Amino acid sequence: MVEHPDCRYFVPLNNKSWFVDSGARPEQVEELDWWDTQVIDIGGIKAEFGCLPCQHSSGRTACDKEKTLWASWSVKSGGKSVWFGGDTGYRAVPKLPHGEDDYGEGHEYPVCPAFKEIGDRNGPFDLGLIPIGAYDPRHLLSTLHSNPYDSVNIFKDVRCERALGIHWGTWYLTEEPALEPPKMLREALAKSGIAETGVFDVCEPGESREL
């Protein structure tokens, strides 16, 4: 906070106190509920920030579970739009035999409807920043984190023109190999009839791209 004393923070409901306790001034922080928007003007450039739903939970300790709201976000400016999925699941997958494909025949599980609603109400988006990692074991994590097959469905539901995969390869947080998500993403794209490159891509660690 000290490094950016004039920064404004848009945060989901009930998160303001954490930012203030961490050094932000109260007037810098504004809480938003799902579907709320806020427009800022910086040097004549306007940008609209939108707080949108996703499928996750919240809590920093054993005593504050579900006390604050979680969210995905949109930014629209200059005729362009970005959707940031952040940390989100997509389905609710039960425990299955090891190695069984939960997208295989006969596996129909509940899907979070929020992503299609985002696409219908706010899409299409020029770019989606969509999580692809930290998904194994599925019966524990599918409601919180997306595997690449989930991510491709989110991409289609939200109506993104292009996307970059995020939320993978940084820590050994879960059981899948650290470099598996990009490989699985290409497989998921191919099975959905989407080009394996040029539409929903992944940056290598440390890589930058201009879009």
Q: How does pLDDT run across 40-84, given as a tens digit for each residue?
A: 998 899 999 999 999 999 988 888 899 999 999 999 999 999 999
pTM over 0.85: yes
Contacts of 154 (CB under 8 A, 6+ apart): 85, 88, 90, 115, 128, 130, 146
Tell me the Ramachandran region of residue 50: left when phi exceeds 0, alpha when psi lies from -120 to 50, beta otherwise: beta
In terms of Cα–Cα distance, which of 14, 10, 113 is closest to 54? 113
Quickly state the pLDDT bin for 157 (edges 50, 70, 90).
very high
For residue 158, pLDDT over 90 is answered with yes
What separation in angstroms does the CA of 50 have from each of 8, 11, 20, 71, 72? 14, 10, 21, 10, 8
Could you say which DSSP state residue 91 is in? B
Quickly state the pLDDT bin for 2 (edges 50, 70, 90).
low
In terms of Cα–Cα distance, which of 105, 174, 106, 116 is closest to 146? 174
